[in-house]
Every structure is written in structure tokens, then in C-alpha cells.
Structure 1
Amino acid sequence: MVLTELKPGEKGIITDLSHIDENIQRRLLDLGVLEGREVCYKCALPFGGPCLLEVCGQCIGIRKKEAMRIQVECS
């Protein structure tokens, strides 16, 4: 399943980041978004805005387009 299929407040384990552009992948890795890490999907902002995630105790916002390419499995 993809990250955006989680309900707000649900947690999942990141399983695949390979479908994201390499530059964005590198930036996500710098922020602690790694395969095998737990991620909490906080919310999606209205009108197709960014998605808010919590990883390693920090909240980050990423474009919905990138969030839809992150594979997760429910934890």
C-alpha cells in the first residue's frame, strides 16, 4: 500500500522508496525517512496540498506526489 492510503494518525513501516526521484530520495534520507522506519501519517492539507508525516519524532511535509510513491505496510 502507499503512504497516502493510511488514515490520519495511522502508522506504517516504510518498505520501498525506489520509485521517488534520486534528489528527493537523498533529501528524505537526510530527514530520516528510510526503509524499515516507522512513519505516522498525520494529515493531508486541503486542495492537493502537502502531506504531513512524523518520522523519528519530527514532523515533515512532503508533496502528495512523492507521498503516493512511498510504499508502506501497516504496523
Structure 2
Amino acid sequence: MVLSEIQVGKKVRIKNTDSVNELVQRRLLDLGIMEGSVLKIKRILPLGGPITIEARGQLIGIRRSEAKKIRVESVSTQ
């Protein structure tokens, strides 16, 4: 599944970012977001707007077109 398909409040782990633009990959890496990182979807704006994620206590907005390219897996909440 991809990041853009996840519902608000769900936690996911990044599996693959290979199809994301290199510049976006670099920016995510600079923020500490890489394969294996756990994210939580905080907000999805309407009309194809960006997705707000929480990673390591920081909120980050990602274009929906980029979120469609980030492969993720569900993380069980314990």
C-alpha cells in the first residue's frame, strides 16, 4: 500500500521510497525520514491537497503526488 491510502490516525512504517523524486528523498532524509521510519498520518487536506505526517515528534507536509509514491506497511499499535 502507499502513504496516500492511509487513514488519519494510523501508524505506518516506510518500506520503499525508490520511486520518489531524488530531491524529495534527500529532504526526507535530512528530516530523519527513511526506510524503516514510523509515521503517523495527522491530517489529509481535501481536494488533492497535502498530507500532514508526524515523524519523530515533528509535523511535515508532503504533496499527495509524492505520498502516492511512498510504499508503506501497517504498524500494530501496542
TM-score normalized with structure 2 length: 0.91
5+ residue gaps, structure 1, are none
**Number of matched residues?**
75
SS in 2 for 1:41: strand
Runs of at least 4 residues off by over 4 Å: none
- Could you give the per-residue CA deviations for residues 16-53 of structure 1, whole angstroms, max 9, x where no partner exists? 01010111110111112110010001121112111000
Asked if residue 22 in structure 1 is aligned to residue 36 in structure 2, the reply is: no
Percent of matched pairs sharing the same residue: 48
Offset at 1:67? Answer: 0.6
Show the counterpart of 1:68. Answer: 68
5+ residue gaps, structure 2, are none
Q: How does 1:1-75 map to 2 (within 5 A)?
A: 1-75=1-75
Offset at 1:11? Answer: 0.2
Q: Take 1:4 and 1:20, find their aligned partners in 2: how far apart are those partners?
A: 13
Q: Take 1:47 and 1:30, find their aligned partners in 2: how far apart are those partners?
A: 28
The CA RMSD measured in Å over matched residues stands at 0.8
TM-score normalized with structure 1 length: 0.95
